[in-house]
Structure formats: structure tokens, C-alpha cells
């Protein structure tokens, strides 16, 4: 991760196909395309990769979450349970629909704690969104049981987890609807792009229409298409899809490299008694896009993270002090800083953030250091990096 590190002739070929025919829009202009429909091809490749019936490409991972939720009927006043550790896009995508993000604690998997989820369900709860941060999953079976018990929509945000699996199934293909990001720093990149994945035909049709101004995409004349319901513009372009088409065909290559580099680092750190690793549920396999480990306390984590930065160990993160990925510094959400008025329903729904504390999440995030795994590292470079990391951790 990320896939742009290994751009090559395959990506250039697919992009040149689009530039040669001049059609950058994914819909229409059939006579000019010379048979090239990159978005449709990428959707087909992704469906095969995920062993899922339907894939709808969109403009970003954030768009994928909003489109997925809207397609499943989530809207104004509905509550969507999500984790405290994620990316700000998670609550943005929920609030875009007028729905209310309900943040709950994570556990040692760094994803949703099923007990915290069940304790947070109210009559307004409509969906539970598992966010598979840093390439791994939570207890999918327990969350599925909870969703079935309470008749809730189970949403899988696998934006950072492409290539990971749970009990033989690709992450993102397990819940009622899954979401992916293909932005510039993901294992599979389109530059910008995302996807909604589902086996539910109605959710797919809704996503197909909703992401393109409500167009029903029936027939060959775009101007004659009807609009069964309101929609918006979350389309991906053919150029972005072309890059993604080449990249998805290289997914197994990328994951293999990630696993090699991850394994070298983990094996080195595993000899340090004070280092422990995130929990991966039985039957799960990470995508190996990140190595996540815990130190004994916040102070040691901060010192080690500072030591990493000062000694050239880049692309590592201490999320406790990070304002993108953890609730602790999301002041713009807590204070509802918005360019436009937020509905009273959402304001009231988010009142809990003024007093709510997340000690369990703090326990895990304060001690966690997360290291992105680069595809461009050689085996020798990773080995040198591993030794430096060991030396720095032992020094503290």
C-alpha cells in the first residue's frame, strides 16, 4: 500500500485506451468508444474478485458510504452506529444524508466492540457500520448476529482493507453492503474512486440510479432515460476506472508483497516482550497494508513514535494525537462547525458527544502505533527498517 508505487505499463495501456477514443465519461457516447468501457470492465473484475453479484463504482470511498447507506434506505433522523477509530469520512458520509452518527468503543481488533454496539442500539438505530481500519476486521459473526437480532442493516466499510479475508470471504463482501475506496494512497488506486458491493439486487439498482442523478440506465439513449427517484452525481470517470482496472488485476501481487514486508517487521518486533499486536479474529487474515502494535502505555507510545520520526522511520502513526482518525480531536464534529445550518434532529442526536467519554477506545488507541506497509520496499530495506525499529523501541 499504496498501489501507485508500482505504476507501470499495464496502467498506461488502460489509460491510453481512454485517451485514444476521447470519451472520459462512463455513460453514453457508445459510437466513439472503440469498445472501451473501463468502468463497466472494472465493475466486472471487482465482482469476480469479491465473489459478489453486484458492484457499483462511484467517485470516492466517502461517496461509496453515502450511496450504500442511501441505497439501503438510511436517511434523515436515522442512527448509524460507527467506531471511534476511523476516518472523518465515516461521519461525514452519514451526516450528508441527514442521519446521525453514533460513535461507540473499539476493542483490541481496533474495530467495533460488539458489546458496545449492542449497548448503543435505540429505536432510531437503522444500521451498524463496521470500519475495517488498517487492513483488518472485527468479530464479523457477532456483529451479524446483532444486526439480525435487531433487524439492522449491516454495512462494511472496507476502504482500507482490500485483500483481507474472513473465513474465506473477501472483506467488503460479507455484510449486506460493502464500501471501498480507491484513492491515491490505497492498495488499489484509481487516483480517486470507490465502489459499493452487494448481493442485494434492490440495493444495487438504487446505488446505480442514485449515483447518477437518478438515471435508470435503461436503453441506449441517455437523454430518454427516466428518473425513478432523486439522485446526485457520484460518478467515476473512465480515466480513473482505467487505472483501477489495471490495478485490480495486480491485487494478488500487491498483497503478496505487503505480506512479505509486514511479516519481516512483525517477526522482528515480536521478540520485544513489551510489544503486543492487534487481535485478528479466528478465521481472519489481514490485508497486511498496516502493521499495528501496542506498547505498555501512552507515554512509551509517544516516546517511541517521536523516536521513529527523528530516526527516519516514516509512514507510522500514533492516532491518539491525530485529528483525522480518532474521536479525541474531532472538535469540528463535537462543536458542529458547519458552513450550512445542521438540522435540529442531527444537533439533538449529537448532544451526547459533549459529555460522552471513550475510555475503552483510549486504552487501545493511546498505546497503538500503526505502520503503513510500502510496496516499493525491497526485502533488504525492510530488514534494515525492522532493526532500526527494534533499537528505537528498546531504547525507551
Task: Give the strands of the sheet with 284-285, arranged side by side.
Answer: 169-170, 165-166, 284-285
Angle 82-114-99 from CA coordinates, rounded to 5°: 25
Alpha helices (runs of H) in 132-217, residue ranges in sequence order: 140-150, 201-210
Per-residue pLDDT for the chain (396 aa), expressed as one digit of tens each?
999 999 999 999 999 999 999 999 999 999 999 999 999 999 999 999 999 999 999 999 999 999 999 999 999 999 999 999 999 999 999 999 999 999 999 999 999 999 999 999 999 999 999 999 999 999 999 999 999 999 999 999 999 999 999 999 999 999 999 999 999 999 999 999 999 999 999 999 999 999 999 999 999 999 999 999 999 999 999 999 999 999 999 999 999 999 999 999 999 999 999 999 999 999 999 999 999 999 999 999 999 999 999 999 999 999 999 999 999 999 999 999 999 999 999 999 999 999 999 999 999 999 999 999 999 999 999 999 999 999 999 999
Strands 153-157 and 177-181: parallel
Q: How many CB atoms lie within 10 A of CB 260?
A: 14
Residue 41 CA neighbour count, 13 Å, CB half: 20
CB 112 within 8 A of CB 102: no
- Reference 56, options 229, 228, 241; nearest CA is 241
Q: What cell was used for 295?
A: 506498547
Counts of helices then strands in the chain (DSSP H, E): 14, 14
Largest interatomic CA distance in the chain: 69
Query: Which bin fits 391, alpha (ψ -120 to 50), beta or left (φ > 0)?
Result: alpha
- Reference 45, options 201, 188, 230; nearest CA is 188
Query: What is the reported pLDDT for 22?
Result: 95
Distance, in Å, from the CA atom of 16 to the CA atom of 242, rounded to the nearest integer, reads 9
CA 7 to chain centre: 22
CB 343 within 8 A of CB 262: no
Distance, in Å, from the CA atom of 198 to the CA atom of 188, rounded to the nearest integer, reads 19
Structural domains of the chain ordered from first start: 3-250 (3.40.640.10), 252-395 (3.90.1150.10)
Q: How many CB atoms lie within 10 A of CB 282?
A: 9
Angle, helices 9-21/38-50, rounded to nearest 10 degrees:
140
Q: How many CB atoms lie within 10 A of CB 221?
A: 8
Distance, in Å, from the CA atom of 104 to the CA atom of 107, rounded to the nearest integer, reads 10
Is 374 a residue of the active site? no
**Which residues on neighbouring strands pair with residue 57, listed in sequence order?**
195
pLDDT 10s digits, 237-255: 999 999 999 999 999 999 9
Active-site entry in 124, 186, 306, 334: 186
Amino acid at each position: 500500500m499504496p498501489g501507485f508505487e508500482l505504476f507501470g505499463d499495464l496502467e498506461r495501456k488502460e489509460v491510453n485506451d481512454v485517451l485514444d477514443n476521447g470519451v472520459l465519461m462512463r455513460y453514453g457516447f457508445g459510437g466513439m468508444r472503440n469498445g472501451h468501457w473501463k468502468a463497466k470492465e472494472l465493475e466486472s473484475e471487482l465482482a469476480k474478485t469479491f465473489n459478489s453479484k453486484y458492484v457499483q463504482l462511484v467517485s470516492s470511498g466517502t461517496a461509496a458510504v453515502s450511496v450504500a447507506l442511501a441505497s439501503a434506505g438510511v436517511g434523515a433522523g436515522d442512527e448509524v452506529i460507527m467506531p471511534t477509530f476511523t476516518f472523518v469520512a465515516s461521519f461525514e458520509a452519514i451526516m450528508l444524508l441527514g442521519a446521525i452518527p453514533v460513535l461507540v468503543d473499539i476493542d483490541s481488533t481496533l474495530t467495533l466492540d460488539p458489546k458496545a454496539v449492542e449497548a448503543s442500539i435505540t429505536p432510531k438505530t437503522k444500521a451498524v457500520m463496521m470500519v475495517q481500519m488498517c487492513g483488518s476486521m472485527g468479530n464479523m459473526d457477532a456483529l451479524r448476529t446483532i444486526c439480525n437480532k435487531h433487524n439492522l442493516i449491516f454495512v462494511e466499510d472496507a476502504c482500507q482493507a482490500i485483500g483481507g479475508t474472513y473465513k474465506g470471504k473477501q472483506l467488503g463482501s460479507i455484510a449486506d453492503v460493502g464500501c471501498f475506496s480507491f484513492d491515491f494512497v490505497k492498495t488499489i488506486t484509481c487516483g480517486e474512486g470507490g465502489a459499493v458491493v452487494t448481493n442485494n439486487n434492490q440495493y444495487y439498482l438504487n446505488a446505480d440510479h442514485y449515483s447518477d442523478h437518478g438515471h435508470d440506465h435503461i436503453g441506449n439513449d441517455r437523454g430518454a432515460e427516466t428518473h425513478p427517484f432523486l439522485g446526485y452525481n457520484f460518478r467515476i470517470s473512465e480515466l480513473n476506472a482505467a487505472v483501477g482496472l489495471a490495478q485490480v488485476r495486480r491485487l494478488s501481487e500487491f498483497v503478496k508483497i505487503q505480506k512479505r514486508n509486514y511479516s519481516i517487521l512483525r517477526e522482528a518486533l515480536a521478540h520485544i516482550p513489551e510489544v503486543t499486536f492487534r487481535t485478528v479474529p479466528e478465521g481472519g487474515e489481514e490485508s497486511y497494508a498496516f502493521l499495528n502494535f501496542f506498547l505498555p502505555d501512552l507515554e512509551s507510545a509517544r516516546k517511541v513514535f517521536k523516536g521513529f520520526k527523528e530516526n527516519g522511520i516514516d509512514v507510522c502513526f500514533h492516532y491518539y494525537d491525530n485529528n483525522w482518525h480518532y474521536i479525541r480531536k474531532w472538535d469540528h464534529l463535537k462543536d458542529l462547525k458547519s458552513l450550512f445550518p445542521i438540522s435540529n434532529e442531527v444537533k439533538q442526536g449529537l448532544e451526547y458527544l459533549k459529555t460522552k467519554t471513550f475510555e475503552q477506545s483510549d486504552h487501545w488507541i493511546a498505546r497503538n502505533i500503526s505502520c503503513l506497509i510500502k510496496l516499493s520496499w525491497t526485502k533488504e530495506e525492510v530488514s534494515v527498517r525492522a532493526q532500526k525499529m527494534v533499537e528505537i523501541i528498546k531504547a525507551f
